[in-house]
């Protein structure tokens, strides 16, 4: 006899997950991960601080973005929680009063950790491409690298990989010079 078919996870499984984990639905499976460790949290905090003024508020930059830390995205049955996501205000003029977003962002950023890197690369990036997310960034605090991608004809095009102390101007935030050194130390 064969094994019984695995039950597809549902949003109820996400809601029932312990509060100390991040729960996502990826390709019908419940995927959980612990809350970020200190280096991961530092990168996320510094990146948010760097982008907020110029791109969300228009202070020292062009503005025109809504940027959110760990938004819950509901994308055709998948429930993803990127570390950061951004919507151009032309597509999302106002932040909706909602727990989750069905409108795919224009940019996502995943901060990689040894336990999430394979999922972020092999499972989440293809979903973001399917949904038409135009830009993706992968930041690895252990390797001290930033990878930037642009979606072209449904495929991710690597725009570049930078490391350590580099100063980066890259889509979609090329109006701003990001000093990577600030991401790696408090």
> pLDDT tens digit string along 55-68?
999 998 899 999 99
Q: pLDDT of 71-94, one tens digit each?
A: 999 999 999 999 999 999 999 999
Query: Most distant CA pair in the chain: distance in Å?
Result: 66
For residue 170, pLDDT over 80 is answered with yes
**Structure token digits, residue 186:** 């408090």
Report yes or no: 149 and 122 within 8 Å, Cβ to Cβ. no
For residue 120, pLDDT over 60 is answered with yes
Report yes or no: 24 and 80 within 8 Å, Cβ to Cβ. yes
- Per-residue confidence band for 5, with pLDDT thresholds at 50, 70 and 90: low
Sign for the pseudo-dihedral over CA of 79, 84, 90, 93? positive
Report yes or no: 135 and 171 within 8 Å, Cβ to Cβ. yes
Task: Report yes or no on whether pTM surpasses 0.85.
Answer: yes
Give the pairing of strands 135-140 and 107-111: parallel
Task: List Cβ<8 Å contacts ≥24 apart for 101-105.
Answer: 101/71, 101/72, 101/73, 101/74, 102/73, 102/74, 102/75, 104/73, 104/75, 104/128, 104/131, 104/132, 104/133, 105/71, 105/73, 105/133
């Amino acid at each position: 006899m064969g094994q019984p078919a695995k039950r597809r996870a549902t949003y109820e499984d996400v809601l029932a997950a312990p509060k100390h984990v991040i729960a996502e639905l990826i390709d019908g499976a419940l995927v959980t991960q612990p809350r970020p460790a200190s280096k991961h949290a530092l990168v996320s905090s510094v990146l948010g601080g760097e982008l907020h003024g110029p791109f969300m508020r228009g202070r020292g930059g062009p503005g025109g973005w809504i940027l959110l830390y760990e938004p819950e995205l509901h994308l055709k049955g998948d429930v993803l929680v990127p570390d950061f996501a951004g919507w151009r205000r032309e597509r999302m003029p106002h932040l909706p009063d909602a727990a989750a977003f069905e409108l795919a962002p224009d940019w996502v950023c995943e901060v990689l950790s040894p336990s999430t890197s394979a999922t972020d690369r092999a499972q989440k990036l293809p979903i973001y491409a399917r949904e038409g997310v135009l830009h993706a960034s992968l930041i690895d605090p252990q390797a001290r690298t930033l990878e930037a991608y642009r979606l072209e004809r449904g495929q991710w095009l690597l725009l570049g990989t930078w490391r350590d102390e580099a100063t980066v101007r890259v889509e979609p935030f090329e109006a701003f010079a990001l000093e990577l050194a600030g991401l790696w130390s408090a």
